[in-house]
Amino acid sequence: MIPLDLTPEEKQVIRQRFLAKVEQGPDCWTWKGVAQTRGGRGRMRIKNRVYYAYRVAYALEHGSLPANLGICHRCDNPACVRPDHLFAGTQADNVTDMDRKGRRKNSPRYGRDHHKVTTTDDQVAWAIAMYRSGRMTQTLIGQILGVKQQTVSGWVHGQVRSTTAKGRLIAAKRNAARTQRKAA
C-alpha cells in the first residue's frame, strides 16, 4: 500500500519522479526505470520502501488501495503503468480476467497433457514392457526416447507418469500423502 501521509508537495515530487521513468506510448505506458523484476514489473522506492510501479501509478491516480485488493492489468502487460489500464481487484478477479482472455496455462501435473511431456502414452507403455521383459535397460530406453534414465525408472515404478486412470489415481494419492508428511 502506498503511504497516505504524503503532503501535496511530496505527492507532486513522486509524480514527477514517476513520470520521468515512464515512456508514454499510444497504448501502454512502459516503465523504463532501473528496478525491474524478471517478469518486467517495474519498482520504485518511496520513503525507503519499494513498491511496484503499477501500484504507484494506481495510487497517484485513484488514491490508496485497500490491503485485500491487488492491481490487475487490462492490457496484460506487466510493465504497463498507464492508470486507465489498471483496475483494483482480488486474486479471484485476476484469475477470472485471465480465464476470460484465455491466457492462463492449465498444466496438469501428470500424464500426456503436462506441458513438458515429449513422449506419448504408447511410448511409455512400450518402455515399461521392454524393461519388464528384460530386453532393454532403463538407460537404453531413455536414450532411444530422448529422456533420462530416472524418467524411465519413474514410469516403470509408477511414480512419475501413468498411462491408466487407475495409475494416475494412485500417483495422486501418493503425492497427497507426501504433501501431508512434509506439512507435519
Q: What mean pLDDT is predicted for residues 29-47? A: 84
Q: Round to the nearest angstrom and report the end-to-end CA distance of the chain.
A: 34
Please tell me the distance from the alpha carbon of residue 38 to that of residue 70, in angstroms, as a whole number. 19
pLDDT at 107: 44
- pLDDT tens digits for range 94-142: 888 887 877 766 644 555 666 567 788 788 889 999 999 999 999 999 9
14 and 46 Cβ atoms separated by less than 8 Å: yes
pLDDT at 81: 93
More confident residue, 161 or 45: 45
More confident residue, 113 or 17: 17
Q: What residues does 29 pair with on adjacent strands?
A: 24
> For 110, phi and psi rounded to 5 degrees?
-120, 160
User: Is a pLDDT exceeding 60 seen at residue 3?
Assistant: no
Q: Name 66's Cβ contacts closer than 8 Å, sequence gap at least 6.
A: 88
Give the closest residue to 19 by CA, choosing from 6, 32, 9: 32
C-alpha dihedral over 125, 155, 144, 147, to 10 degrees? 140
119 and 129 Cβ atoms separated by less than 8 Å: no
More confident residue, 2 or 100: 100
Task: List C-alpha distances in Å: 141 to 91, 92, 114, 127, 145.
Answer: 44, 44, 21, 6, 6
